[in-house]
Amino acid sequence: MSIFQTKAWQRAWWQHWGSTKGFNFLKEGCFQATGLYVDRFLWLRVLPIRCLQFVGTNYRRISTPRSEYHSLISSECDSAGSINELLEFSWSEAVFRDMFANSLDVSALELLADREGWLFRIVGEDTTFWVDTTGGWEGYLLSLGSNTRLRLFNRRKVLEQVGDIELANAWPKEASVFFQLLNEFHAKRWGRPCFNERSVAFHQDFLSAVTSEGGEPQLSILSCSGRPISVLYNIAFKGCVYNIQAGFEQNFHKKLSVGTLHLGYCIEDAFQRSDIHKFDFLAGGGKNENYKERLATGSQSLVSVMLVRSKLFQLLYRLKSYGNAIAVSDEGLYK
């Protein structure tokens, strides 16, 4: 069970986005299985679509904080029954995002689509990265490339010469300050804030609720002589620290990557805790490089799949795929 399948995440998400016009809640998640809902809308303002989806995700219509590691099948449930339950719901297409590519869920969905005559499509692929923290911190550092180790750990000495270094958890009293800093760092680096007002409210409601399920909010602020220079939004849950978001002052010092140094402090803390076995960077890359891949000791592929039940939409998607294939073929003629 991941942090994204907790009642805290699922219920907070539905509280903030469930009132969207066309959303119809179907089923609350349980243990490892994610909740489900249907999004009803008109595609191109003409064709009615009923899109079955995981609670915490939306395909096409709205943008919300990303959630990963979804599943239809719980280890406590009969897998065939969980998959066949999809037959009971009314939908024209289903989009199940960010599942493990080699999971029982994906293979079961592909078999179901084949049995029922539905179209099975891959609509997204990504990779998630993590660090196994069950070994020793020193051994992990030695396993890294020399330049990566320099940025993650060795240049702490340079940082400590700049000023007094302090690490503080802003949860719960300074949560609003934390999210304000995160947005400010993102706006300077990416040209826009990380979270809008609704998303900030969602995260604060989620964090308030997740503690009752054993979650430990870690809104880490790295300061130099009292000046915040980096923030990391982490949550410890069931032996794993999830790194949800990060922001830092990019021009703080020409020799330092303060965001990477901050990660180093947090990863080291995970190694030192006997109740933590993994530091999870989740999916997605950095602005200029895939720093997660360089720091990770493990990775796994994620996949988002679509099942198309409607015969009309099956035809339309096949025509679209055929048109894309023709375009790629024609493009090759001119290379």
Tens of pLDDT, residues 248-293: 998 899 889 999 999 999 999 999 999 999 999 999 876 667 899 9
Taking a C-beta distance cutoff of 8 angstroms, is the pair 68, 128 a contact? yes
In the numeric block, the tokens 């023709």 are attached to: 326
What pLDDT, on a 0 to 100 scale, did the predictor assign at position 322?
66
pLDDT > 70? residue 327 = no
CA angle 198, 204, 209 (to 5 degrees): 125
> What whole-number distance in Å separates Cα of residue 77 and Cα of residue 60?
30
Task: Give yes or no for a cis peptide into 65 (omega within 30° of 0).
Answer: no
Predicted TM-score of the model (pTM): 0.93
For the chain, percent helix, then strand, then coil, each to nearest 5? 40, 30, 30
> What whole-number distance in Å separates Cα of residue 245 and Cα of residue 282?
10
% of the chain surpassing 70 pLDDT:
93
What pLDDT, on a 0 to 100 scale, did the predictor assign at position 334?
38
The mean pLDDT of 232-248, rounded to a whole number, is 98
DSSP 34: P
Burial of residue 81 (CB within 10 Å: 0-12, 13-18, 19+) is: exposed
Tokens of 199: 């998303």
Burial of residue 61 (CB within 10 Å: 0-12, 13-18, 19+) is: middle
Helices (H) and strands (E) in the chain, counts: 11, 11
Residue burial 8-38, b: 16+ Cβ < 10 Å; e: rest:
bbbbbbbebbeeeeebeebeebeebbbbbbb
Taking a C-beta distance cutoff of 8 angstroms, is the pair 203, 218 a contact? no
pLDDT > 90? residue 45 = no
The mean pLDDT of 323-327, rounded to a whole number, is 57
Letter for the amino acid at 68? E
Residues linked to residue 129 through DSSP beta bridges, in sequence order: 282, 299
Q: List alpha helices for 144-299, DSSP H.
A: 146-149, 156-162, 175-190, 197-210, 258-272, 291-295
How many angstroms from the chain centroid is the CA of residue 202?
15
On average, the pLDDT of the chain sits at 92
Burial of residue 82 (CB within 10 Å: 0-12, 13-18, 19+) is: middle
* SS3 state at 137: helix
pLDDT > 70? residue 126 = yes
What pLDDT, on a 0 to 100 scale, did the predictor assign at position 82?
75
The mean pLDDT of 142-167, rounded to a whole number, is 96
What pLDDT, on a 0 to 100 scale, did the predictor assign at position 305?
98
Tokens of 1: 């069970």
The band of 332, judged by pLDDT with boundaries at 50, 70 and 90, is very low
Whether the CA torsion 89, 91, 97, 100 is positive or negative: it is positive
* SS3 state at 11: helix
- How many other CB atoms are there within 10 angstroms of residue 179's CB atom? 24
Can you list the positions of beta strands (E) in the chain?
A: 23-27, 36-43, 47-54, 93-100, 119-132, 165-169, 216-224, 227-237, 240-248, 278-283, 298-308
pLDDT > 80? residue 31 = no
pLDDT > 50? residue 189 = yes
What pLDDT, on a 0 to 100 scale, did the predictor assign at position 115?
96
Phi, psi of 5 (to 5 degrees): -105, 5
